[in-house]
Structure 1
Amino acid sequence: MPLTAAHWIYLAGVIVILGTMMARKNIVVPAVAATFLTALVFSGSLITGITAVFDASLVAATNLFNIFLIIALVTAMLHSLQVLGADRKMVAPFRRVMRNGHLAFWALLVVTYFISLFFWPTPAVPLIGAVLVPVAIRAGLRPMAVGMVMACAGQGMALSSDYVIRVAPGLSAQAGGMDPNAVADKAMVLSLVVGGVALLVGYALEFRKMRKPSARLLTEWEASGRQFATPEPRQAAETAEAAPRQRELVPTGAGARVASDGDGTEPPPAAPLLGGSPDTVDGGDPASADPAREYPRASTFFAVFVPLAYLSLIGYMIVAKISPSVPDLESGQAAGLVGGVAALIVFMAALVGDGRGFLETSATHVVNGLVFAFKAMGIVLPIAGFFFIGNAEFASQILGTEIRGQGILFDLVAAVQDHIPENGFIAAFAILLVGVVAGLDGSGFSGLPLTGALAGSLGAGAGIDDTTLAALGQMGNIWSGGGTLVAWSSLIAVAGFARVPVLDLARRCFLPVMAGLLAATVFSVVFLG
C-alpha cells in the first residue's frame, strides 16, 4: 500500500514522542496532538479528528481495563494486610539469614524479587527499607550495594517480567496483536537473564568491598543518611514503581525528589523509615506502632497464607505449561486468578480486622485501590490510544470506518522492509534500543505500546518471533525507566531508603544492567527466536 499523508503524520508523531521522552517531558500532549492530526488527515474530517482524541483513549481504556482492575485489587489486598501487620511478618524471617555481607546480598535479592513479583515494587521498597535494609547494613553490605540490589531485583528483574500481575505483558501484547501469555513467558525468561547477569556483575564488583558485621556500621549509616534527601514514607510509596506515571524532578542537593501530584490521593500505606534498632518499627517502642501485636494470630496466618496462595498459583501455571494432562490457562485467566485471589483476601482480612464493619472496610479498600490504579495507570491511556491507531483493528474502532490492510504502522515498516537487513540480531537490538530510549521518561510502561506495535510489525520480516521482540522491548523499557538506569524514576525511592545519592546509584547500576540487557538480546535471538 502506498504511503499517504496520514502515514507521515503518524511517523512524525512517533518521532516527536520519542524526542519528548528523551527530553524527560510529559508525553500526553504530543500523543493527543498526534492522534488528532493523524485522524484528521486520514479521514479529512475535522469532526473525526476531534472525536478520535476521545475515542482513542476510550478504546485503550476498554482493552486495558482488566489491567486497571487487577492493580486495584492487589493494592486493596495490600491495604488490608497492612492493617493487620501481616506484610511485615512476611519478611521478618529473612533477618535471621543476614549474618554477613555476602549472605545479606543474596537474601536481600531474594526477598526483594519475590515481594516485587507478587505485589510490585511500590510496597516492596518501603517495607524492605524499614525491615531488612538496616539489618543488611549491619551485616556488612555497603549502602550503595543495598540500593543496587533492591533496584535490580525489584524495579528491574521482577517488574520487567511482571509475571504474576501481568500488566506489562498485556500492554506489550495488546498493541501488537499478540498473545499476552506468550509475551509473559518470554519476558520471564529474559528478565531472569538480564537480572542474573546484572546481579552477578554487581556482586563481582562488590565482592572485595564487603565489610565485617558490626553495629558501628549501622550507626554510621544512620548518621550519614541525614545529608541526603531521604523521602518520607508516603512520598517514597508515591515514587516507587507501582505503575507508569510521569514525574516532575525537583533537585534537592545531593539527591532529588519527586514532587507530589497534589491531588491528595493516598497511595498504598508504606512502612515507616527505621530510625532506631533494626528490630523496632519506628525507632521507638515496637508495640506502639506494630499492628501485628494487636492481631498476632491473624497477622501470622495471612503472612503465611498469602505467599502460599500465590506460590500455588505460580506452581499451577508452571505445571500447566509442561504437563499435557493439566489444562493450561486461557488468555486472561491468569490475571483473573490473581485478581480473584486478591479480592477474596481483602474480604477475609477485613473481616478479621474490622469484624462487623468489614463490609464498609472492604469497599473502602477496593475504592482506594481503584483510585490508585487510575492515578498510576491513567496516563497510559492517551499514549496507548495513539499507538493503537497504528493497528488496523483498533484504528477501525477509533476512526469509525473499516481500515484495509494491517494498519499504518505495518505499512510504514513494510515500506522500508527492503532496506532493512532481514537479520534477527539487528531487529532485536533495534527493539531494545527503542525500549531503552522510551524508558528515559522515567515511567517504564508508557513506551510498551510502541515497542509492542513495532515487534508485531518487524517480527516476520526479521525472521524472529514477534513475542520475543515484544518481550525484549519490554526489558528495555522497564529496566531503563522502571527504576535502575535513570535518576528521575522510582530509583529515587530506592536511593532514599538506602540513603545514598540517587545519581551515584544510577551510575552504579549502569554497567551491570547494560551487560545484562546485551546478554539477554543475544540470548533471545539464539534461543528464543
Structure 2
Amino acid sequence: MNVLLINLHYIYIIFILIIIIAMIFKRDISLICIIGIFTLGIFATNSIPKSIIGIFNSLVHATKELMPTIFIISIITAMSNVLVVVGINRELVSPFKKIMKSYWMCYWIIGIVMMTLSWFFWPSPAVALIGALFLPIAKKVGLPPIGTAVAMNLFGHGIALSSDFIIQAAPKLTADAAGIKVSSVISASIPLTIVMGAVTTITAFYLLRRDMKNGNINMNFQREETITKKEKDTIVIPGILRKFLTIFIIFIFVLDIVIMSACKLQGGDATALIGGTAIFILSLISIIAYRKRCLEKITTHIVDGLIFGFKIFGIVIPIAAFFYLGDSAFTEIFGKVLPQFSHGIVNDLGAAFSNITPSSPLFASGTLTIVGAITGLDGSGFSGIPLVGSIAKLFSAAAGGGVSTLTALGQIAGIWIGGGTVIPWAVIPVAAICKVNPFELAKRNLIPVTLGLLVTTIFASFLI
C-alpha cells in the first residue's frame, strides 16, 4: 500500500510539472488533466473501466464544487445586461466620477472597498457587488479590465481572505491544528498581512502602470451581451424613474450587507443572498422595461447569463477536476485506496517536504511558505491549512518558539496561492466578472505574489 501511495504521489507531481510547462508555452491543459485523471485511476484501481468512469465522475465533482460560483456569475451577468438596457449603469457610475478621476485612484479605491467587504462577507459575494458597481467607472477613467481584476483579486482573495480577521474561519482551522488560540494567530498575522499586502499590491500596480505606458495591455472592456444596439436605443424609461430605480438598487444591496452582518451570513449563504437579490432586480427591471414582453425577456436574460457562465467555466472544469483529486475528492472518485494515514495527495506532499528541511528560523519560515503554497495547489486555499498548523507546531518546537508566526505565515501562503490569486481555476469569479482570461489574470498576479511571499517569509524569520 505504501508503494501505491508513493506511485500516486509521483504521478501527481509529474503531471503538475507537465501542466506548468504547458502553461509556460501557453498551451491548453485540459487534455493533460484528463490524461492525468485517467493515469491516477489506473494506478489506484488497476482497472481501465473504473479509470474511465473516474474521468466522468471527477468532472461531475468539479462541476458540483464550482456550481455556486457559476450561478452567481451567470445571474450577476444577466442583471448587469438589463441595467445596461435601461441605462441604470450610467446612473450608478455618476456619483463616483467626482471622486475617481484617474485610473490609479480607481485601482486603490476598488481594492480597499473590495478588501473591506471581503473581511465581513468573504470575497465571493463581494466580487459580485464590486463588479456590478465599479466596472463602469473603471472603464470611464481608463483602468483596464485586467487592472480592475488584479485590484479585486489581490485585495479580496489575497489580503482579506488570508487574514480573515472578522469571520475567523481560516485562523480557527490553523490555530486548532497548531494547538494555540485563534487570537494568537490573528495577532501574529497582522504584521505579515501588512507586509504581504503592501508588496503585492504596490508591485502589481507598478507592473500595470508600466505595461499601460508601453501599450502592452488590452484597454478594451469586452462585454458579451446579446442585446442589440437597436434594442438598447428603443428601451427608454423616464429619467426620474431611472434615478429612482438606481437609488432603489443601491438601497437593496446595502440592505443585503446589513442582513449579512445582522444574521452573520457567510460564504455560500452570503453569496446566495446576493444572487437572489440580483434575480429580484433582474425581474423588476425587466417588467418595467419590457412590459408585455417581460416574461420572455426575463427568461432570455437568465439563459444568456447561464450561457456566459458555462462558457467561462467550461474550459476550467477539466483542470479543476484533476486538482481536486489532490484532496478528499480522490477517495470519493476512486474509493478508499489510499492508506489510512494519508491526508490526501497534496497534503502528504507538503508533510513530506517538511521532513527534509533543517530547523532554523529562515528554513522554518521557508518551509511553512512552501508547504502552504503546495497545499494551495488544489485551488481551495482552506483544505490544506490544518496541515500547515500541525507543521508549524513541529517546527516551532525545533526552533524554540514562533508557533503563532509560523502558523500565520503558512496560512497566508496557502490562501494567497489556493484562495484565488495565482491558480487559474481559483481566480475565475473575478476573471468572469471583469471579462478577462483567468490564465492571464493568474499570470499577472504571479510576480507580485511570488515577491510578496519571498519578502514576507524573510520578514517572518526575524519574528520567530
Task: Work out whether the TM-score is over 0.5.
Answer: yes
Distance 2:155 2:287 in 1: 35
Match for 1:411 among 345, 348, 356? 348
Contact 2:86 2:289 in 1 (8 A): yes
Equivalent in the alignment of 2:274: 338
Match for 1:310 among 249, 253, 258? 253
Contact 1:390 1:409 in 2 (8 A): yes
Match for 2:151 among 143, 153, 168? 153
Distance 1:191 1:120 in 2: 24
- SS, match of residue 370 in structure 2: helix
- SS, match of residue 18 in structure 2: helix
Distance 2:301 2:308 in 1: 11
Match for 1:360 among 289, 296, 311? 296
Contact 2:420 2:426 in 1 (8 A): no
Equivalent in the alignment of 1:91: 93
Deviations 1:23-52 (A, max 9, x none): 332221111111100110111111111111
- SS, match of residue 2 in structure 2: coil
Contact 1:160 1:478 in 2 (8 A): no
Contact 1:455 1:470 in 2 (8 A): yes
Distance 1:156 1:329 in 2: 23
Q: CA deviation at 1:155?
A: 5.1
Match for 1:471 among 415, 422, 426? 415
Contact 1:83 1:291 in 2 (8 A): no
Q: CA deviation at 1:455?
A: 4.4
Q: CA deviation at 1:461?
A: 1.5
Show the 5 A alignment for 1:121-140: 127-128=136-137, 130-133=139-142
Structure 1: which 5+ residue stretches go unaligned? 134-144, 164-168, 210-220, 238-266, 273-287, 320-325, 439-446, 484-488, 496-501
Distance 1:341 1:352 in 2: 17
Q: CA deviation at 1:59?
A: 1.4
Equivalent in the alignment of 2:42: 40
Match for 1:430 among 370, 377, 393? 370
Query: Are residues 1:449 and 2:379 paired?
Result: yes
Query: Are residues 1:297 and 2:240 paired?
Result: yes
Equivalent in the alignment of 1:460: 390
Equivalent in the alignment of 2:283: 347
Residues matched between the structures, number:
402
Percent of aligned positions with the same letter in both sequences? Answer: 21
Match for 1:371 among 291, 294, 307? 307
Equivalent in the alignment of 1:248: none
Which amino acid letter does the alignment assign opposite residue 153 of structure 1?
Answer: A
Q: CA deviation at 1:58?
A: 0.9
Q: CA deviation at 1:289?
A: 7.2
Q: CA deviation at 1:355?
A: 1.5
Structure 2: which 5+ residue stretches go unaligned? 115-122, 162-166, 177-181, 394-406, 429-433
Deviations 1:296-345 (A, max 9, x none): 2343234333333333433454x4xxxxxx55336621121121111111
Equivalent in the alignment of 1:2: 2
Show the 5 A alignment for 1:15-414: 15-97=17-99, 105-107=104-106, 109-110=108-109, 117-119=126-128, 127-128=136-137, 130-133=139-142, 150=148, 152-154=150-152, 156-158=154-156, 160=158, 233=221, 236-237=222-223, 267-268=224-225, 294-317=237-260, 319=261, 326-329=262-265, 332-392=268-328, 394-401=329-336, 403-405=338-340, 406-414=343-351
Q: CA deviation at 1:375?
A: 0.9
Which amino acid letter does the alignment assign opposite residue 29 of structure 2?
Answer: I
Which amino acid letter does the alignment assign opposite residue 32 of structure 2?
Answer: P
Contact 1:112 1:153 in 2 (8 A): yes
Which amino acid letter does the alignment assign opposite residue 398 of structure 1?
Answer: I
| Residue range with higher mean Cα deviation, 39-48 or 357-366 | 357-366
Contact 2:327 2:346 in 1 (8 A): yes
Distance 1:162 1:448 in 2: 20
